[in-house]
Amino acid sequence: MEKSNIYIGEIIRNVMADNQVTKAELARRLGVRPQSVDYMLTRKSIDTDTLYNVSRALNYDFAMLYSLREGQTNCDVKESVYNVATAKILVELELKPEDLARLNLKKRISDVLK
């Protein structure tokens, strides 16, 4: 199995800098001591619970860095956009002759079938 070349501590530090979040502020958001943040920023890897909490604290999905392939489908994506140009719907109804006459469906159906 191939090992990742991701140094998560360095990436977290970069995201913090981009968002102007200090170590003290991140520690406050995580509910940990600032020394814990210092230690985390020196790590090549961290446990998934910590990664999840840091992702939420910095509003950045660090888990995407570990995607197996580009364009990978993610199970946590709630919204999907589907573009449908046309759709065919088949409906089976059982109508009595008087219902057909009332709805004028016989003529409409024969017109469609021509």
| 80 residue type, one letter | S
Q: 50-62 burial string, b = 16+ CB within 10 Å, else e?
A: bbebbbebbebeb
- Residue among 4, 9, 2, 3 at smallest CA distance from 44: 9
What is the full per-residue pLDDT of the chain (114 aa) written as tens digits? 566 678 899 999 999 999 999 999 999 999 999 999 999 999 998 998 999 999 999 999 888 887 766 665 555 555 555 555 666 667 777 777 777 677 776 677 777 777
Q: How far is CA 70 from the centre of its chain?
A: 14
Domains located in the chain, CATH noted: 8-66 (1.10.260.40)
| pTM, two decimal places | 0.57
User: What token pair was written down for 39?
Assistant: 């230690």
